[in-house]
Amino acid sequence: MYAYTDFDRQFIRQRAAQFRDQLERRLNGRLSEEAFRPLRLQNGWYVQRYAPMLRVAVPYGELSARQIRVLARIAREYDRPDAELLTRAQTTQDGIDQRAGSAPGPRLTYGYAHFTTRQNVQYNWIPLDKAADVMDLLASVDMHGIQTSGNCIRNITTDERAGVAIDEVADPRPFAEILRQWSTLHPEFAHLPRKFKVAIHGAREDRAATRWHDVGLELVRQNSATESVAENVHSASGKDLYNTKNLGFKVWVGGGMGRTPVVASLIREFVQWDQIVNYLEAVVRVYNRWGRRDNKYKARIKILVKAEGQRFTDEVEAEYQDILQKDGAPHTIQPAELQRVAASFVAPALTCDRKSADAKINHILKAAAEDDVEFGRWLQQNVTGHQNPDLRVVTLSFKRLGQAPGDATATQLDAVAELAERYSAGEVRVTHDQNLVLPWVSCDQLPELWRDARRLGLAKPNIRLLTDMIACPGGDFCDLANARAIPVAASISERYTDLDELHDLGEIDLHISGCINSCGHHHSGHIGILGVDKDGQEWYQVTLGGSDGSRLSGQPVAGKVVGPSFAAEEVTDVVEAVLDVYRLNRTERETFIDTLRRVGHDPFKAAANGARHKTNAATRTAEATEA
């Protein structure tokens, strides 16, 4: 993991001290709410439906056991509403169900952290008068909330298997860190037309949904005959530390979800590795100059790229050439700097008895096939290969009954920290699917890890299956939401508890958003569910056929709406009807998304609309006819 310097730590602690002073002035009335609002947002503090929400930055998803323990402490000691607030909030939520005549949804909970689709962490109940104490705690372990809000460059995200993936071209983490340092408090980009999200991956498979971002970067190697390249970066001993031969980036710009889903366009086939920051400087300058500020719904860079097309690309290229020729290429990455950063990402020294490991793996695989179906399924779904043949990458599932997707209690977080220290060199990664990954697990420790994780409820073998769904906090907490996402996720999870059935259905991406802002990535789900408000009641739009760009899903594309929206109590039946069509039409070992594309949407749409409850269907006839 990247090791913070003394400068880094001093900067974060000074920022925490500044926030404490700002908060104290707000609480004693010397600073108005209007004046305080941009200050709290710059540090990750929102005001949500019932209480403040804190978003903590987790650069490129990496966490240490020490940091996780502090996140656990915050959940235990600070994520606690007073009794009156909790009662008032729960009464409001109960009223939604009563007006709809539906069964009560899950009760509001507190004392937990929520992992987001952008690899950050959120808390929903921290009282504002405790905010400065929390920021001091975060700073004590090199964490903060800087630029997790506002119209600036947000957290740089990447593949949770970065640096360990078998299909990796190059490790994206050193570049993600360099980009983080460049973008943090960038004086020109603090007030962009709208928020700006960057994702980077360095593998043959895109596991970071990069083309759904404002900027998506893909590490590639080009033939040396067509592009001059810098020498490899060396360690002090002269040994290659980071192979830069023929290395550069494909640059995709203008992706995003929201009310206008757009897949990013490729605007440059190759930018040499040491020039990538100069090139991104050009991209953001052009956006800052021409992005719309008169309408926030049309302010994202995707709207500019779509409207201007080649003109946008030409303008970026002209700006880039000015940066190189007139400005002197000030952001060129020097080999020594890449060496300094890359040195923090050297694999930990782990010992593994290869002979013992091989024998044990063969034994446990045989035992799994013959005696323990659950363990065998865990190996199949939650354990993946590693660049080091002695190691494996293990996913801890945070998708289980009784908790919202991506939620972790204080006790669970403490347990994860212990697992990380015992099995993964003290490191954990957050995935954009809202799970946690242990990236450094020795093969001969897999049986022990499985037993420990199962005891904690974190070994459910459902990774990439239907119940491994993405869901935002929705209307339970978010002030922007039109409908709740957590009760829908709970209802589907309760319907599909049989692991035999889940494994028979195979790998399916189910994504749920509580509003058009798409924090639950519903557009990219094989099955997408979007909460909408109709006359003060919760309804849900269903889409089919979306893709995040992964190997399973194929080229990124937004799903297609199946028809008019559904009442809350209909959604789970709609999902079941759609899956029944898949079962009926699939060929041997054909996935849901492949069957959908082969057969076409019509039978799935018909089944979905046929699942409407009679009392609701009668009132939706006209709308269904229009669709």
Beta carbons of 438 and 458 less than 8 angstroms apart: no
How high is the pLDDT of residue 230?
42
Per CATH, domain 360-455 is 3.90.480.20: yes
Spell out the residues 6+ positions from residue 596 whose beta carbon is closer than 8 angstroms to its own: 526, 544, 545, 582, 604
| Pick among 1.20.1740.10, 3.40.50.2000, 3.30.413.10, 3.30.565.10: CATH of 153-344 | 3.30.413.10
Share of the chain above pLDDT 70, in %: 92
SS3 call for 198: strand
Domain boundaries, the chain: 6-139, 153-344, 360-455, 470-626
> Whose structure tokens read 């494909």?
250
356 is written with which tokens? Answer: 């013992």
Crossing angle (nearest 10°) for helices 310-325 and 276-290: 120
34 burial via Cβ count (<10 Å: 0-12, 13-18, 19+) = exposed
Spell out the residues 6+ positions from residue 616 whose beta carbon is closer than 8 angstroms to its own: 566, 567, 570
Residue ranges in the chain whose pLDDT is less than 70: 224-240, 351-361, 364-371, 615-627
Q: In sequence order, what are the beta bridge partners of 392?
A: 441
Fold of 470-626: Sulfite Reductase Hemoprotein; domain 1 (3.30.413)
Q: What is the DSSP letter of 389?
A: T
171 is written with which tokens? Answer: 């490790």
Spell out the residues 6+ positions from residue 11 whose beta carbon is closer than 8 angstroms to its own: none
Beta carbons of 119 and 434 less than 8 angstroms apart: no
199 is written with which tokens? Answer: 């994702």
> Whose structure tokens read 């929390």?
134
Domains 153-344 and 470-626 share a fold: yes
Beta carbons of 254 and 302 less than 8 angstroms apart: yes
What is d(CA 162, CA 215) in angstroms, rounded to the nearest whole number? 18
> Whose structure tokens read 């950050």?
120
Terminal-to-terminal C-alpha distance of the chain? 51
The phi, psi pair for 271, rounded to 5°, reads: -120, 125
The phi, psi pair for 558, rounded to 5°, reads: -85, 145
SS3 call for 196: strand
How high is the pLDDT of residue 149?
95
Burial string for 358-388 (b: 16+ CB within 10 Å, else e) reads: eebbeebeeebeeeeeebbbbbebbbbebee
Beta carbons of 532 and 542 less than 8 angstroms apart: no
Q: Which of 153, 3, 163, 154 is nearest to 67 (CA)?
A: 3
Residue 483 amino acid letter: A
Q: Which helix (H) or strand (E) holds 154?
A: strand 153-158
CA distances from 455 to 157, 372, 458, 478 (A): 31, 16, 8, 32
Q: How many Å is the Cα radius of gyration of the chain?
A: 24
How high is the pLDDT of residue 175?
98
Q: What is the pLDDT of residues 235-246, one digit of tens each?
A: 444 445 799 999
Beta carbons of 232 and 242 less than 8 angstroms apart: yes
Q: What is the pLDDT of residues 16-59, one digit of tens each?
A: 999 999 999 999 999 999 999 999 999 999 999 999 999 999 99
How high is the pLDDT of residue 227?
40
Q: Output the CA torsion 615→616→618→620 (10° steps).
A: 170
